[in-house]
Amino acid sequence: MGWFSFPYYSKQKHLTKEDIFKVFANDETLLAYLPDNPDIRCITREYLLSVLFFSNREKYLELYSKYKDIQIQKTTTGSKKYFARITNDMLDRLKAFKSINL
């Protein structure tokens, strides 16, 4: 795995080779690094990420940010999102909260 690579999540179908390949769509600069009519099965995920890393850092960082968000979700909620209902009274108390530095 290259130093610009990061894991993918096949169960949730996040950050897979197909996801990354979609980033290349309609971007002539990125597509110039691929053969005409590329067969996605023959191109490695790491190669696609390296092209993004060196040719369009902004798009690479968007994918990396998505990876970091998934990692945070996994470590804090077991890949589940939780929602809490907060009353207006509780919201007011939260807004008025002042921490105490010990």
Q: Is the pLDDT of residue 3 over 70?
A: no
Q: Is 25 part of a structural domain of the chain?
A: yes
* Contact call for residues 23 and 55 (beta carbons, < 8 A): no
pLDDT tens digits for range 40-81? 888 888 888 888 888 888 988 888 888 888 777 776 655 566
Residue 32 is assigned to a structural domain of this protein:
yes
Residue 2 lies in a domain: no
Is residue 73 in some structural domain? yes
In a domain, 42, yes or no: yes
Q: With pLDDT > 70 as the criterion, what percentage of the chain qualifies? A: 79
Burial per residue of 42-73, b for 16 or more beta-carbon CB atoms within 10 angstroms, e otherwise: ebebeebbbbbbeebeebbeebbeebeebeee
More confident residue, 9 or 1: 9
Residue 14, strand partner residues: 9
In a domain, 61, yes or no: yes
Q: How many domains does the chain divide into?
A: 1
- Using alpha carbons, list the distances in angstroms from residue 5 to 24, 55, 96: 16, 15, 43
> Is 4 inside any structural domain?
no
Q: Is residue 9, in this structure, part of any structural domain at all?
A: no
Domain that holds residue 27: 17-96
Q: Whole-prediction pTM value?
A: 0.61
